[in-house]
């Protein structure tokens, strides 16, 4: 760690900068409150993390990582936060986490990064809420000699401004979802799309992958409406309600995440239709709640996107601190789960 003011609590600094939530002070060695996540998720996340390696302690000093999280918009995001905070608290002798919850606002993430620079952390982790608008603050981090790890979402900046991206291939996820949707509806019919946060790489790429695959391979499938639900269950429900009011014969819903799919399922049921039967549901993430919906016959398919990135974040940060090189893209491997697998898979879901 280059420079750190132990007496200054990061939480107060971030609060002054309008950040609404923060769960670790610079003077403490681990994290505190995790966002609302079920006990089952906590338990299984811990188990998953126990199987991975630990961040190497090369200098005798603690590895200090500042992480600017997007917020708590989905079950997936809560699982990612818990994975990061659990790793930090279980390895408090080696690592220290400064955690900022930006409440879905880029300006709050930028303030958090500036604060981490001021605190002199070793490495900054960021899940960018949107892709653009990062050049200046990334350049400030670079000038201060602090590497940036992009976690789960990409930023549209020059490659030399960040050290690595750890996460999934969102375009590929969209393509896999399109193939599954085509199978479910017999390669023809009208479908609707619930998009994630406007400007987020996860939304842009999942749309590109899905829409391109439909256009290229399934000419009899028509995407009749596509609108953002901001990756939240509430907005997924709201948008689906309006889709149902203005469109008849919808055969399928493709949602960029499970939470929006779960909202759509509620809207479909309230409209007197059967989700999973009358309208097929395909989404991305693989959270426990969508497996429950699949087991109940109300959803059909989810493309998994691994949120348990905490261990990898710290292990990569340790390498960067030690001056080791890391790959520019540490890619997560995603699988596809269909409703016939749900009952068997459900008891072992890790998030
Ligand atoms: O960036 C990953 C996406 O962000 C997840 O699919 C979604 O649930 C989250 O909010």
| pLDDT tens-digit map of 67-97 | 999 999 999 999 999 999 999 999 999 999 9
Report field, pTM of the whole predicted structure over 0.75: yes
299, 318, 330 from 337: Cα distances, Å = 11, 34, 23
Rounded distance between C-alpha atoms, residue 271 and residue 249, angstroms: 13
Considering only residues 58 and 200, tell me which one the structure prediction assigns the higher pLDDT: 200
For ligand 1, say whether the CB of 113 is within 6 Å of any of its atoms: no
pLDDT tier for residue 5 given thresholds of 50, 70 and 90: very low
Instruction: Report residue 147 as tokens.
Output: 């590497």
pLDDT, tens digit, 9 for 90 and up, residues 104-146: 999 999 999 999 999 999 999 999 999 999 999 999 999 999 9
- Nearest CA, atom 3, ligand 1: 202
Question: How many CB atoms are closer than 10 A to CB 314?
Answer: 29
Mutate to test the pocket of ligand 1, among 37, 74, 80 (most ligand atoms within 8 A of CB): 74
Whether ligand 1 lies within 6 angstroms of the CB of 73 is answered as: yes
pLDDT value at residue 64: 98
Q: How far is the CA of 258 from the centre of ligand 1 (A)?
A: 9
pLDDT higher at 37 or 324: 324
The whole-number pLDDT of residue 57 equals 53
> Per-residue pLDDT for 3 more than 70?
no
Structure tokens that stand for 298 in this block: 């109300």
Share of the chain above pLDDT 90, in %: 82
Residue 220 φ/ψ, nearest 5 degrees: -95, 5
Q: Is residue 152 within 8 Å of residue 196, measured between CB atoms? A: no
**Which are the contacts of 8, defined by CB distance < 8 A and separation ≥ 6?**
26, 119
Average pLDDT over residues 206-232: 98
């Amino acid at each position: 760690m280059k420079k750190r003011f132990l007496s200054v609590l990061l939480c107060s600094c971030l609060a002054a900068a309008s950040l609404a939530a923060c769960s670790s002070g610079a003077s403490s060695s681990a994290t505190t409150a995790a966002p609302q996540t079920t006990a089952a998720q906590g338990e299984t996340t811990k188990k998953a993390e126990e199987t991975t390696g630990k961040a190497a302690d090369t200098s005798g000093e603690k590895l200090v990582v500042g992480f600017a999280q997007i917020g708590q918009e989905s079950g997936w995001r809560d699982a990612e936060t818990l994975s990061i905070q659990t790793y930090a608290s279980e390895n408090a002798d080696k690592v220290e986490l400064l955690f900022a919850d930006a409440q879905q606002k880029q300006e709050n993430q930028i303030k958090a990064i500036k604060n981490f620079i001021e605190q002199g952390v070793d490495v900054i982790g960021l899940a960018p809420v949107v892709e653009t608008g990062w050049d200046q603050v990334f350049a400030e981090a670079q000038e201060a000699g602090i590497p940036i790890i992009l976690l789960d979402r990409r930023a549209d900046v020059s490659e030399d401004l960040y050290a690595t991206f750890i996460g999934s291939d969102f375009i590929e996820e969209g393509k896999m979802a399109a193939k599954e949707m085509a199978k479910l509806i017999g390669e023809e019919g009208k479908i609707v799309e619930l998009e994630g946060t406007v400007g987020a790489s996860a939304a842009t790429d999942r749309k590109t992958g899905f829409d391109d695959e439909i256009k290229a391979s399934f000419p009899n499938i028509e995407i009749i409406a596509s609108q953002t639900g901001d990756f939240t269950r509430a907005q997924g429900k709201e948008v689906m309600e309006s889709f149902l009011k203005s469109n008849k014969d919808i055969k399928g819903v493709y949602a960029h995440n499970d939470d929006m799919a779960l909202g759509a399922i509620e809207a479909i049921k309230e409209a007197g239709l059967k989700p999973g039967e009358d309208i097929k549901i395909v989404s991305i993430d693989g959270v426990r709640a969508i497996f429950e919906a699949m087991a109940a016959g109300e959803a059909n398919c989810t493309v998994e996107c691994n949120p348990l990135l905490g261990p990898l974040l710290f292990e990569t940060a340790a390498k960067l601190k030690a001056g080791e090189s890391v790959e520019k893209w540490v890619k997560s491997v995603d699988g596809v789960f269909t409703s016939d697998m749900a009952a068997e898979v459900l008891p072992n879901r890790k998030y």
